Amino acid sequence: MSMTFSGQVALVTGAANGIGRATAQAFAAEGLKVVVSDVDAAGGEGTVQLIRDAGGDATFIRCNVTVDAEVKALVEGTVAAYGRLDYAFNNAGIEIEKGKLAEGSEAEFDAIMGVNVKGVWLCMKYQIPQMLAQGSAGAIVNTASVAGLGAAPKMSIYAASKHAVIGLTKSAAVEYAKKKIRVNAVCPAVIDTDMFRRAYEADPKKGEFAAAMHPVGRIGKVEEIAGAVLYLCSDAAGFTTGHSLAVDGGATAI
């Protein structure tokens, strides 16, 4: 089996930086046309420029994944730009917690669940009918987390949201398996992103702890998550659906 792609179209949300940007670049490097989406227009356009500078084909469409009409317009815009949608990486997500469960606020709960869960649900709600209408195989990968595979102290709402993403992923995978649409999730541990730097820049010791929590002795690279996403979208993973792939340096093996 090959991971070769040709003449196909990928949509990446949360693609203004970090894992989303790296994955959009990886899709483009494989010859796919890429729709880059984010609420951060400057970052999203920056991703598009990086892809174009490398000889790839990309378009930016701004979208707040918590708004039904905007997600619908995103999928419609993808088809208007490139004629179809073959792969989707629903990566947009946030984490804003800093305390234990009883210290959280309703505003935090609504914000995290809105982006991380409703956003993934809305994206699949509009991506799947488009893939079905094309009558060809499609693949969707959702960003969950190792926090969706177990406990995440002081990040209980975030953990709940990522458990929910895995539930949506598995349910959609079963519902559309016979329609040749595969749905999987990628579950990163701590990855070197802006989100990581915000969490640990004030206390270098926390960064050292983050590295030590992985048996490999370091945090992950965005390119390593991008590689996992491309694998799950490729024909090499043709018999894989409903799976939550931990890319975690061995963290969940402990």
CA dihedral of 4, 47, 15, 135, whole degrees rounded to 10 = -40
* Best CA proximity match to 166, nearest among 242, 95, 98: 242
- Domains in the chain (CATH in brackets) are 9-249 (3.40.50.720)
- pLDDT for 1: 45
**C-alpha atoms less than 13 angstroms from C-alpha of 55 in its C-beta half-sphere:** 3
Q: Are 145 and 188 in contact (CB under 8 A)?
A: yes
The model's pLDDT over 57-100, given as tens digits with 9 standing for 90+, comes to 999 999 999 999 999 999 999 999 999 999 999 999 998 888 99
**Which whole-number Å values give the CA distances from 160 to 20, 39, 136, in the listed order?**
22, 23, 33
Of the residues 82, 126, 158, 176, only one is catalytic, namely 158
The reply to whether 158 belongs to the active site is: yes
pLDDT over threshold 80, residue 47: yes
d(CA 192, CA 116): 19
The model's pLDDT over 173-182, given as tens digits with 9 standing for 90+, comes to 999 999 999 9
The model's pLDDT over 208-247, given as tens digits with 9 standing for 90+, comes to 888 889 999 999 999 999 999 999 999 999 999 999 999 9
Q: Are 222 and 130 in contact (CB under 8 A)?
A: no
Quickly list DSSP for 193-238: SHHHHHHHTT-HHHHHHHHHTSTTSS-B-HHHHHHHHHHHHSGGGT
